[in-house]
Structure 1
Amino acid sequence: MEISLTNAHGLWKEWGLQLLVLFSLFLQFTLATLASWRKSIFRNWIQVVLWTTYLSADSIATLALGIMSSRLANMKETKGTIDTKSQIMAFWAPFLLLHLGGPDTITSYALEDNELWLRHLARLCVQVGLAFYIYFLALWGSTLWILAAGMILVGFIRYAERTLCLYLASEGRLQGSMLPRPDFGSVYPRNVARYTLKKEEGYRVGIDELTRIPALEDHSVKDFQATLDKAYELFNIFKLLFVGLNVSFVDLGVSRPMFKGPDMKAVKAFEIVEIELGFMYDLLYTKAPLLNRRWGIIRWVISLFLPCAMLVFFSFHDKKDYSKVDICITFSLISGAILLEIFSLILAISSDWVHHWRIQRPKGSAISSAITFFSFSRSLRWSRWSRWSNSVAQFSLLGSSMRKRKGIFRYPRLAMLGDVVERNFYIDYKELKEEIKELIFKQMTDAVTYMEKQVGLKSALASLKLEASELLK
């Protein structure tokens, strides 16, 4: 037994760091893939694996950085120098920093993770400092110092992006960004006078900000582009509801006619809502709001150019002093960084964010033409995947009441755990058929029509009462 433990300790000391680095790379690919599936496919195993991977990815990368810095410090203290084999291991530190930044498809698993942005900021400072410590300890003055410096820059950018996205998606920051700024202007005194006069006359007066929605009839766009434009404008109106703010009556009045008309069918209405909720998902859980700006183009140029240049330089670099295993791991890390960036770029080009941005651009522009050329992936993507799972949860209250609780959950201390298991594993998901969508859409339109008639009738009665009171004076 003692010999086995000694052998295990020796194997871990020899190959533990390599295994952790490769496992960290594997977790990045798993995160990027499952996070992109999470938006459109609901499966319990996807949620469980994604949650486990999300929690493990940071811990594995942090553990690898800690082991690396400890070994290098001990070697420097005992031998006074860092050998060549350890230098190539130190070269992996920037890639671990890149892994801590995570893929673009997920920044947080739950909304509560966004509130921990300050903790991630502290980790950013610590991990970047640790990466620089390893860099100056083992790589400064070596043949790999230039390549490592470029990857540290990429890793810092990715990690800082993740922290910034968590901050931007936090509840307090979202509320602050969505509250309209007061713009009094030159007509403010006149508006105040009109407000006071109407209020004294007995009218129900409020001050609301009008969300301007461009008339779609003036746009020579295709049907999908018109639908995308509608969804984006409605997203700007109703995103206030996700942070506890209220939508003004003016915005409700503006948005209501967008679901009316002879051309509006249930399928189209649901598609608008799907796109709208997709925008909100990206805002809360991904890096899309930050990358779908000018900064995104700069970031992708840096994140693609530097790893590709590193791959070329390392291919021609003298590697006779490195072991074959370490060389393969290094090539795997560089290639993995490039593949993850290409995967992220393809998803971004095929996203609704970029397509909405493209239709706002003048036709014939270089960037718009390039996006149109590469956006063939969008048709391929949506031919296989929908924007959501097209299924709704179904929970049988009667069946749950009659179901006997398993023996392990009969104990009082485990009863709450049994409720959690029941909520997550005893729920069936049924396909939302077109007939149900038609029924929901009809019920909603009938309810809105009835409310408008009631409001119109009450307004007419109020006007008659006001006129009658004026005549009786």
Structure 2
Amino acid sequence: MRSFLWGTYLVATIVVPYSLGKLTGLRIDDPKKPDALYPAVKLKAILAPLLLLRLGYPDTITAYSMEDNQLGLRQVLNMSITVTVVAGILIRCWNYTSFTILYFPMFLAGIIKYVEGVWALKFSLGLNTGITAKEIAGEGMVPRFLDALPKIDGLELVVKAYYRFHCLKPHLEDWIYHPRFISHRQLSIDHCSHQEAFRITEIELGFMYDVLYTKAPVIYMKLGLFIWFVSFFWLVVTLCRFNALPKSILHLDVIMRNGKMGFGAFVYSYQYTKFTFCVLMLALLLVAYQILLLPYSEWAIVKMSKRSNWPLVPMFLQFFAPRSAHKWRQWSDSMYQFNLLHYCLRRDWTRHIKFLNFWGIYDYINWNWSLNRMGPASLPENLKERVWEELKVFEKARRTHPFSKRGEWSFERYSVGTGEEIRRSIETAFDKSILAWHIVTDICYHHHSEEQIFRETIPFKR
């Protein structure tokens, strides 16, 4: 699925410019083409702004990797060139008829969606990496805002996760934040249960994913919502106007210069009319579906919580907040397992196929086989509770000191021997230390399991 999605994402940026290049050959009153094809030419021309609409991408994906966000400024140049090409296609096919009037609303909808996609790319990493006086004043109002929230199940979790993400901004490098806001009573998770702590972290990671790879931060702004409904309005206008046009207008140019109707040309034009209508309807349904999904998001819940005194807003919060906090899951509570020893010691017949080593294909297959061999493992509640208790212990020991310890506290807490070999394993390079302790954990886990089985079977042997 990941490979299919990545391939589709890449192909979309290739197919659309290629299709626009083919459409640049369209022209009304072209002496090289028969007059009977003029209706099809005008119908084909409306596909140009439709392709522009698709370049804006749906709300759920604007980037596939971090590098796409870093190229957001370059997309402005691509957008300018593409919009110019589409405008040239429409101008060449314009002949002041009732049908060509449809080009204008469709063109506006396409430009709006394309600008929205580029804006989302630029917005994800275009924030200032330092904190301003306005942001400090705004964050100072957060505790009072949390105290005034209506008592709705799950609402406080979502809002707390949002403001923790807003203060920390973990997706930005060198972001300067004030830890006193995070340590405040309303934003702190020190006194939360392990279920609430994991759920808040899950929502925070969902916010981070939305910022990096979707349009969520843009479309839930006032300007973003305005752009959404304006583009939807122009799509509705285009479809209604297209459906209301008399069929005689659509096929008027089919009449030959000698006054006779070309039946083949009429059928050709009729098929293009139905095809264009279906494409417009599909584009409208896709946009309408995305609008219906707008309230089913943590972003919408946060925005509605800021307007909780408005009419009908508490009713919407009562419906959406509990479902977001408890039912809509971003995480499946499972993790894939990777055994480094199995990966390094595994030998199979595919290593003898030479062409698999080209571009690292063999390593890629071996890596995925080792990763998927055992499948994802669910994370039980008792393990979540143990992890949460351990984190609180280490946080209490750390206090205000930086994260500079790499195992010393665990050695001291569990009275582990301080031999030279153990000390060397945590004082070496960080990546080597991770690899060493991954192998040690795997060996100790299986060794402990074997000893446990042996102890349980001794009474039966006696």
Q: TM-score, normalised by structure 1?
A: 0.71
Separation in structure 2 between the aligned mates of residue 309 and residue 415 of structure 1, nearest angstrom: 51
**Residue aligned with 1:268, SS:** helix
- CA-CA distance at 1:343 after TM superposition: 1.8
The match for 2:164 among 230, 234, 240 is: 234
Counterpart of 1:348, as a letter, is L
Separation in structure 2 between the aligned mates of residue 396 and residue 348 of structure 1, nearest angstrom: 41
**Residue aligned with 2:335, SS:** strand
Separation in structure 1 between the aligned mates of residue 94 and residue 167 of structure 2, nearest angstrom: 52
Structure 1 residues 73, 219: closer, same or farther in 2, change over 3 A? Answer: closer
The match for 1:214 among 134, 143, 151 is: 143
Structure 1 residues 382, 342: closer, same or farther in 2, change over 3 A? Answer: farther
Separation in structure 2 between the aligned mates of residue 387 and residue 162 of structure 1, nearest angstrom: 23
Q: What does residue 390 of structure 2 align with?
A: 443
Separation in structure 2 between the aligned mates of residue 380 and residue 227 of structure 1, nearest angstrom: 9
Q: What does residue 333 of structure 2 align with?
A: 390
Structure 1 residues 349, 387: closer, same or farther in 2, change over 3 A? Answer: same
Counterpart of 2:339, as a letter, is S
Matched, 1:363 2:363: no
Structure 1 residues 378, 97: closer, same or farther in 2, change over 3 A? Answer: farther
Structure 1 residues 392, 222: closer, same or farther in 2, change over 3 A? Answer: same
- CA-CA distance at 1:309 after TM superposition: 2.4
Separation in structure 1 between the aligned mates of residue 352 and residue 6 of structure 2, nearest angstrom: 24
**Residue aligned with 1:392, SS:** strand
Q: What RMSD, in angstroms, separates the aligned Cα atoms of the two structures?
A: 3.2
Matched, 1:310 2:238: yes
Q: What does residue 342 of structure 2 align with?
A: 399
**Residue aligned with 1:430, SS:** strand
Separation in structure 2 between the aligned mates of residue 271 and residue 168 of structure 1, nearest angstrom: 26
Contact 2:168 2:177 in 1 (8 A): yes
Separation in structure 2 between the aligned mates of residue 378 and residue 68 of structure 1, nearest angstrom: 50
Structure 1 residues 409, 157: closer, same or farther in 2, change over 3 A? Answer: farther
Q: TM-score, normalised by structure 2?
A: 0.73
Contact 1:135 1:148 in 2 (8 A): yes
Please give the per-residue CA displacement for 1:422-461, whole angstroms capped at 9, x wherever unaligned.
Answer: 3445313222222221111111112122334999xxxxxx
Q: What does residue 139 of structure 1 align with?
A: 94
Structure 1 residues 319, 236: closer, same or farther in 2, change over 3 A? Answer: same
Separation in structure 2 between the aligned mates of residue 211 and residue 408 of structure 1, nearest angstrom: 60
Aligned residues with identical type, % of pairs: 27
Contact 1:240 1:246 in 2 (8 A): no
Counterpart of 1:421, as a letter, is I
Structure 1 residues 141, 371: closer, same or farther in 2, change over 3 A? Answer: farther
Separation in structure 1 between the aligned mates of residue 161 and residue 187 of structure 2, nearest angstrom: 13
Give runs of aligned pairs for residues 29-40 of structure 1, distance below 5 A: none
Structure 1 residues 325, 87: closer, same or farther in 2, change over 3 A? Answer: same
The match for 1:426 among 370, 388, 391 is: 370
Separation in structure 1 between the aligned mates of residue 322 and residue 242 of structure 2, nearest angstrom: 34
Give runs of aligned pairs for residues 173-252 of structure 1, distance below 5 A: 173-174=126-127, 176=128, 178-181=129-132, 211-212=139-140, 213-215=142-144, 216-240=146-170, 242-245=172-175, 247-251=177-181
Unpaired stretches in structure 2, ≥5 consecutive residues:
252-265, 403-462
Q: Which has the higher helix share?
A: 1
Separation in structure 1 between the aligned mates of residue 99 and residue 276 of structure 2, nearest angstrom: 12
Separation in structure 1 between the aligned mates of residue 154 and residue 68 of structure 2, nearest angstrom: 34
Structure 1 residues 408, 98: closer, same or farther in 2, change over 3 A? Answer: farther
Matched, 1:344 2:295: no
Contact 1:165 1:290 in 2 (8 A): yes
Q: What does residue 468 of structure 1 align with?
A: none
Please give the per-residue CA displacement for 1:35-65, whole angstroms capped at 9, x wherever unaligned.
Answer: xxxxxxxxxx2x1111111111121122111
Separation in structure 2 between the aligned mates of residue 149 and residue 55 of structure 1, nearest angstrom: 29
The match for 2:270 among 285, 309, 324 is: 324
User: After alignment, is 231-240 or 72-81 more displaced?
Assistant: 72-81
